[in-house]
Structures are given as structure tokens and as C-alpha cells.
A and B are shown apart, each in its own frame.
Chain A
């Protein structure tokens, strides 16, 4: 079952700083939305609200029409930092949120390890992994329980360009197969165009939505096509504009 997400006039202040103001957004069930914008514009703050980790918002945030009052297993989260448990190895970290029989667990682990190319590191501990490997483990941890909604905060930030592209394609694959609703934060314009149905461009101080741009291309998207570069130019203009306004 897929779930839609909604924000109605959402605001969040920390002391005297207004982190987010007047944000309204409807995310359809099964939609892929990318949030993009300068550092400090409130992307992580919004994602935490959708995750239910922060409930001190003004306005209303809903999932499947229900107000969000706390975290839920239906909404998987990939944090900006990997946040693996240092005392568990890759296998235990990946399956941390997975509920099921021993056999199901094993099957799902094998699947996740091969998706993330981490077969060799199944017994390694987080301190033995590179930043990118740790982040891939964290992504697998969020994907493993098949959540209805995936909330990802710069999940590919620590990866090299090649692995990044590979992971983007894998994510699209998983998203299409599982029909999850996905919200992803990034600083990378190409990544936004590759992944999103809609790109939400934000600006800072206070954090607000500047524009929302539909990406009218079929998946998988050709990174070298003409339409791709047109969208890149369009987004870049908006993005640069959001930095100065």
C-alpha cells in the first residue's frame, strides 16, 4: 500500500531562528519528490517532520491523511550521517529494522548485500568501512523492511561519482518495484533530475519553497539527452537565484 504525504502551512522555529516558514506541499502516493536548496534552508528539518522525529511544528503534517505524531516503521529514514550502530556488523545493521522469520531475514540480507555490493563486508564493523560503504549499509537498513515511504537526507553525499550513479539507478529500480513514496534531499542538480517526478527548490532565511518543477521525462532518464540539459539549466537558474534572494 502506498501513502501520500502532506504539509499544510508548516513552520518551525528554533528559539529565534525561523528554520522553515509557510511550507505547503502535497506528495502523491508513489511519487518521488526531491528537495533541493542552499545549506540551512530547512531541508533536513522538513524531513524530520515527515519522519515524525520532530513534532514541534506549526501547521499540519500528515501521512495517508493522518496527522504525524511520531516515527513509524512505515516511513523509512536515511539520515544525513550514516548512524550505523558501531557495535553491530554490517549484517546486523542492515537487518536492524527487519521483522520476519530467520529464513526471510537471510533472503532479504542476501538481496540487500548484492544490491549494495557489500557481500564481502557482511561481517565488517562500521569503523572498518569507508564512508560510502557505511552509507550504503544505512540505505539498505532503510530499504530492508519495505517501508511505504522512504525519507532520505543526502543519502549519496559520501559516494564517488561512479557509485553515486549506480546507486541512483538502483534506487529508481527499487522505487518502481516497491511503489514507495520517496522524498530525497540533495545538493546535486543532476541527481534531482535523474530521480524526481517533481523537484522542490527551496530558499533560505527563512526556509520557504521557491518553486516546484515537474520533470517530464520517462525513467530511466538519459543523463546526456537534450531535455536533461534543458532541465539542468532551468534548475540551475532557480537554484542560483534561491542562493541570492
Chain B
């Protein structure tokens, strides 16, 4: 870790010495290094697990009533995709998740900005949010079911609740951590409050905010599963519930797989967004 950080820093220093205008020629050494950096090393383990799983199933080491083979799981998935049942459930889940996330994240962004920017609102609101934050959102499910029944409302609220806190906390912290020296630059040029926020506060807080959003997407995904396992008649969670009732292990595993893959894809999307929006940052992560 330490050495790779150092070499990355040195590489950056070298590039700086080159000057930003001259692009270095692609030497064999460089392309080898870029291969090493781009090789999909992260997929070795998942693939290995699936292979081992398959072998164990075929050799009869695992109990076939408790665990299906990867082939069965894929078959179950394809079958439900072909009948359209999968897409119906997927759409229901995705809608809940996106709507819930958007509501929670927007509220988090707005309220986090308000408490971050104004001491008065911080004193008024932050204690409340910090207290609410410690409430485990799973514990809210029974309460929401009593209050709002089994419709969409309690699910959306639960997901929004879960998505709110990571964004709220990240926005608040991001704004509070802005370098005061840069705020002074704004003062020297007599910037309006609006321009100070737009040119200095928000760009400065953006790395933290994006991190909060990534976290919120994950937590909202989790909340979605919990909401759908507790009284739903559509969604991937509901599909999984059905698999359990009919003792279809393949469907349960297929649903879990869907959750994992979508979670990973969303994470990749946010990372891409980060790289685009935060290109100005001198971050090491980009180079490793």
C-alpha cells in the first residue's frame, strides 16, 4: 500500500515535470502497467466461487434440497424473464428504490446544506437528526405497516428514511470541512452568498456529497429488500418470498443474485460519475 502510494505520487510528479501539454509516448513499460491496472482482478473470486459451487453440487457434496446448482438458478432466472414475471417485479422494485432514494437524498442534500451553512439551523436541527439516525430503520417496519398499511407508501417512506441520513451527514460534513482559506478568497472578491456557495462551498463539498450518495444508494437498496419481504405483492423481494414459500431455492438464490448484480452496477455508475465530476482532484484512486 505504502509503496504503491509512493510510486503513484512519483509518477504524478514526473508527469508534472513533463508539463501538461506534452503527452508522454506509450512505451511498452507503460502499457504493461496499464494492463496490470485495468485487468479485471475483482472478478476472479466471484467466478471461482461459482465454479466451486458447481463442482460441489455436481459431486453431491451439498444437499440438493437446500442448495440448487448454478445452472438451475440461471434457468429459473431465464424462465421468469421469458414469462415476464421477472420484469414486472424488477420494475416494481426499481421504481420504489429510485423514488424513495430521490426523496430521501434530496431532503438530505437540502437539510444537510442548511445545517452546514447556518449555525442557527445546525443548533436547531442537528440534535434531532443525530438522534433519528441511531434508530435502526428495520425497526420502523412494523410501525409503518400499522400506520400506512401494505401499500406503496410505507415502502417509499422506509427507503427515503434510509437514504436520507448518509446524504444528510455527508453534505453537512462536506460543507463544514471546506478550507476556510478558500472562503477568504471569496471574501476578497466580495462574492455574494450565492456565488460563494456555487463557486466555493458546493464544489468543495462535492467529494463528500458523492460519497454520501453512493452509501445512500446501497442503504436504500437494503431498505427495499426489507420493505418487500414484509408484505408486498410485487418486487424482487416479493419474488424471493414466493420462492421461499414454494421451497424453490433456485428462485431465492436468483433473487439474491439480482440484488447483488444491480448493487454492483449502481456502484460502478456512481464511481464513474465521481471520476467525471471530480476530475480536478489529485486523487490516487484514479491511478491504482
**A interface with B by C-beta (< 8 Å):** 51, 53, 70-73, 75-77, 79, 81, 83, 85-89, 96-97, 120-121, 123-130, 145
Contact = CB atoms under 8 A, between A and B. Distances in A.
Given A73-B189, A121-B19, 19 more contacts: A51-B188, A73-B188, A73-B190, A75-B188, A81-B181, A83-B181, A83-B185, A85-B199, A86-B281, A87-B203, A87-B206, A88-B199, A120-B19, A121-B20, A124-B20, A125-B279, A126-B280, A127-B281, A145-B189
A66 to B, nearest CB: 15
B245 interface: no
B13 to A, nearest CB: 10
Nearest to A92: B199
B182 interface: yes
Interface residues of B, number: 22
A121 B21 contact: yes
Nearest to B199: A85
A127 B20 contact: no
Contact of A85 (B21, B182, B279, B282): B182
A74 to B, nearest CB: 10
B185 A120 contact: no
B182 A83 contact: yes
Interface in B1-46: 15-16, 19-21
B182 A71 contact: no
A85 B202 CA distance: 12
B244 interface: no
A44 B280 CA distance: 30
Given A53-B188, A86-B281, A130 B16 contact: yes
24 contacts: A53-B188, A71-B187, A71-B188, A72-B190, A76-B188, A77-B188, A79-B181, A81-B181, A88-B280, A89-B280, A96-B185, A96-B199, A120-B19, A120-B21, A123-B20, A124-B20, A125-B280, A126-B280, A127-B281, A127-B282, A128-B16, A128-B20, A129-B16, A130-B16
Contacts of A128: 15-16, 20
A75 to B, nearest CB: 8
A60 B3 CA distance: 54
A53 B188 CA distance: 8
A51 B21 CA distance: 36
Interface in B183-233: 184-185, 187-190, 199-200, 203-204, 206
Contacts of B19: 120-121
Nearest to B185: A83
Contacts of B279: 125
B185 A85 contact: yes
Contacts of A129: 16
A88 B200 CA distance: 10
